[in-house]
């Protein structure tokens, strides 16, 4: 019976509904990561320095709570499984706290508005982790078949791009449609409510149709074993961390991942400022740039695995980073030519599909490399560190962006087309184009030092197999 359950094929409904998780998560997360800084500084009147500090504190908290929530999931035992009940418990708090972020009345004192957004965002990232992390864990709990897991992973990527596309295409035009020129704050509020309600519906169907099959995890552990397991986990944590940092390949992937995610806010958070204060164009027009870039990423996505198969991870990643750096440099040189800016940004955005997909696979390779070198494969903590990068990187990058814009004397209260200090104009251009170009080149340097290519990885696997056969 158990073998039959393990080999049962996933239904098309389950595969499709699995993608709903990332659609819902991206609807809320990108609405915040793309536009919250702009919304707070332009419409709520919160200083850029205060916004940057708030984002840094909350996102560092977001990165840290991954480890806590992940550990709690490991000890969850219910009739529904380990991860699935978390989605049911926290999908409503997650969506409500998301709505609360943009619900702050603009008539309140600035200090109160700052506290409102900080508390709402603090709660959102906690509840978001309580939904998103279990959602990711479902991939390994819904099936034991590697091919089916690959199908689920592809479904998740598709969902992520669909969610991103909905935000890039629809968010700012809807803000303008609902709020007009004088009620933009209300427009942001209503669009966030709409996206959060859509996310809640998607999470409901995710929970209903994506079920765990590993029934062994659905029953409570024998009495007296939980405490012992917890103590073992805590005592092993420090030793595992030391082992990971001895692993050169893993450390390099960690550095590359941090740089990649630090890079993201330099164009992501600056796009609306770039349009409104440098180009002198209504920021809703920036949705065109995001949309074209996202569509290009979707088109490129199927070719990632083919290029990796031909050139390996290392060469493919270096090539994509060089293309990205050149595109962003050319974007800087095109100045106020909007059409050329869209072309070069699209090239960069499409090339960014590669690092995102490749680093996850490089982590797996590096952990097997560590297993050969140190006799221990540390999978959970190894991947948790990558998740930390996706949170801490944007936090650090976003903080640097807001601090740089604040130092440049950018006047966020200025009307569309109003003159800005030359320092602010230069800061916007450098932050949007040049800093990402430099960071892409830095990624190339660290990727070049990565010790694994096709031949060395094949040798690692061969030696691992020989070692395992000798032990048995």
pLDDT band for position 383 (cuts 50, 70, 90): low
On the question of pLDDT at 221 being above 60, the answer is no
* pLDDT for the residue numbered 4: 45
DSSP per-residue letters across 40-62: HHHTS---HHHHHHHHHHHHHHH
Q: What is the pLDDT of residues 351-368, one digit of tens each?
A: 988 887 788 678 778 877
On the question of pLDDT at 450 being above 80, the answer is yes
Q: What share of the chain in percent tops pLDDT 90? A: 43
Averaged over 181-185, what is the pLDDT?
82
Name residue, tokens 């940057």: 52
Q: Is the distance from CB of 130 to CB of 86 less than 8 angstroms?
A: yes
Q: How many CA atoms lie within 13 A of 442 on its CB side?
A: 15
Averaged over 197-223, what is the pLDDT?
74
Q: List the beta bridge partners of residue 81.
A: 78
Residues contacting 285, CB < 8 A, separation 6+: 172, 275
Classify 335 in phi/psi space as left (phi over 0), alpha (psi -120 to 50) or beta: left
Structure token digits, residue 51 = 């916004």
Q: What is the pLDDT of residues 74-116, one digit of tens each?
A: 677 788 888 889 999 999 999 999 999 999 999 999 999 999 9
Distance, CA of 285 to CA of 413 (rounded, Å): 19
Burial 349-359 (b: 16+ CB within 10 A, else e): bbbbbbbbbbb
Averaged over 420-427, what is the pLDDT?
95
Q: What is the pLDDT of residues 432-447, one digit of tens each?
A: 999 999 999 999 999 9
């Amino acid at each position: 019976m158990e073998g039959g359950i393990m080999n049962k094929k996933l239904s098309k409904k389950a595969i499709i509904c699995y993608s709903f998780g990332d659609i819902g998560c991206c609807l809320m997360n990108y609405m915040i990561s793309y536009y919250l800084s702009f919304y707070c500084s332009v419409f709520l009147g919160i200083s850029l320095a205060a916004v940057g500090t708030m984002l840094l504190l909350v996102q560092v908290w977001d990165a840290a709570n991954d480890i806590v929530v992940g550990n709690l999931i490991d000890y969850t035992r219910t009739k529904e499984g380990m991860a699935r009940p978390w989605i049911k418990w926290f999908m409503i708090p997650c969506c409500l706290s998301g709505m609360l972020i943009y619900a702050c009345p603009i008539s309140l004192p600035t200090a109160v508005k700052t506290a409102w957004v900080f508390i709402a965002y603090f709660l959102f990232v906690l509840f978001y982790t309580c939904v998103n992390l279990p959602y990711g864990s479902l991939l390994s709990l819904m099936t034991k078949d590697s091919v089916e897991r690959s199908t689920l992973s592809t479904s998740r990527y598709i969902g992520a791009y669909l969610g991103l596309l909905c935000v890039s295409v629809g968010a700012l035009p809807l803000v303008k449609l609902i709020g007009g020129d004088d009620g933009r704050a209300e427009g942001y509020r209503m669009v966030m409510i709409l996206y959060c309600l859509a996310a809640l519906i998607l999470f409901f169907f995710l929970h209903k149709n994506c079920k765990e099959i590993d029934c062994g995890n659905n029953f409570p552990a024998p009495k007296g074993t939980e405490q012992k397991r917890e103590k073992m986990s805590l005592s092993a944590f420090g030793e595992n961390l030391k082992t990971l940092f001895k692993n050169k390949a893993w450390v390099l992937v960690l550095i590359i991942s941090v740089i990649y995610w630090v890079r993201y806010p330099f164009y992501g958070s600056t796009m609306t400022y770039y349009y409104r204060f440098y180009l002198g164009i209504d920021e809703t027009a920036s949705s065109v740039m995001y949309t074209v870039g996202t569509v290009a990423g979707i088109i490129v996505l199927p070719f990632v695995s083919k290029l990796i198969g031909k050139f390996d991870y290392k060469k493919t990643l270096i090539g994509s980073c060089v293309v990205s750096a050149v595109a962003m440099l050319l974007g800087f040189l095109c100045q106020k030519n909007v059409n050329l800016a869209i072309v070069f940004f699209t090239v960069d955005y499409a090339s960014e599909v590669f690092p995102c997909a490749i680093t996850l696979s490089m982590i797996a390779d590096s952990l097997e490399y560590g297993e050969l070198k140190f006799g221990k494969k540390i999978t959970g903590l190894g991947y948790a560190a990558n998740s930390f990068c996706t949170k801490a990187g944007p936090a650090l990058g976003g903080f640097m962006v807001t601090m740089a814009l604040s130092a440049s004397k950018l006047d966020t209260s200025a009307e569309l087309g109003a003159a800005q200090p030359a320092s602010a104009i230069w800061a916007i251009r450098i932050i949007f184009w040049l800093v990402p170009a430099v960071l892409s080149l830095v990624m190339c340097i660290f990727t070049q030092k990565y010790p694994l290519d096709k031949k060395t990885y094949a040798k690692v696997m061969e030696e691992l197999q020989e070692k395992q056969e000798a032990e048995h």
